[in-house]
Chains A and B, each alone.
Chain A
């Protein structure tokens, strides 16, 4: 766990990653909050908060008396959301560091091409 951010946000992101990565299939049941709490060694109320965040976002839905399930179409929506943030979260710092080191956009581009063929 990363100390700088709320744990419930990190739990929600972990579940999102599992959905994007295909570990949790759409319409499949996700672990209960108590199982999350035991696995990550966190307070169950914190786990519940993380799960509720995903319910509010429509990523998970509740089936009364049964548990939590991954919503249909959740994977595509999550990927779209992450793509929107990709530029700000990954490209901006990359460009800032490149500029600091005097790496031109052209050089950067060829570096990306080179890494991509590895």
Chain B
């Protein structure tokens, strides 16, 4: 008969833990082997880095102090930084409608059927898999050098990334409100609008702000391939061996990235995302 008290007998000893299981050992071996191969494939050599110190010192000698002349360097740098910011902003906001539409079709909770679900997933995978730099190179050939190509590139790539992340957020919601509205005869679109989307607003806004942060940094790289903004100036400075100008541009870039990061983090904190 149970008395509700613990038995005075000594409980059996817990099973001994193995230091490492065979599966964990195999995984560790594979990971170590992969790193060894990667080391070899990339010709990774700390010795070469040490031997090349003189080249690094020459570079730093030419780059420092940075050229802070207002008219020639700093003002164009700040203007280009604003263009970079604009590329990131438009690239993010204009990707919201297509990302949202595809996310609704690519989430199991809202997709009308599995064929549409698979098709939407495939489109998102393609857009995500192609780097924004590649999209930028394609659009530069279509619309010419300049920020417009950068915006188009970011819209496509960002649609893929945000669409996938939003679809996953939609798949993780509590399905209760959806069931409640379904019982009431609501259609799929009504359920998405009134049960699914309201449940994921914080994640949506959080991801949107994070992607804005990422896109501003991406638009710097896009400038290197001719898509305008401060990346374009960095590229020019390198080609002209004006490393002191380049450092000025990089300082402006750093200030821009930190400002966007802080703003994004602040807003995400405020909305609890």
Q: Do A and B come from one complex?
A: no
Instruction: Write the residues of chain B forming the contact surface with A, with a CB cutoff of 8 angstroms.
Output: none
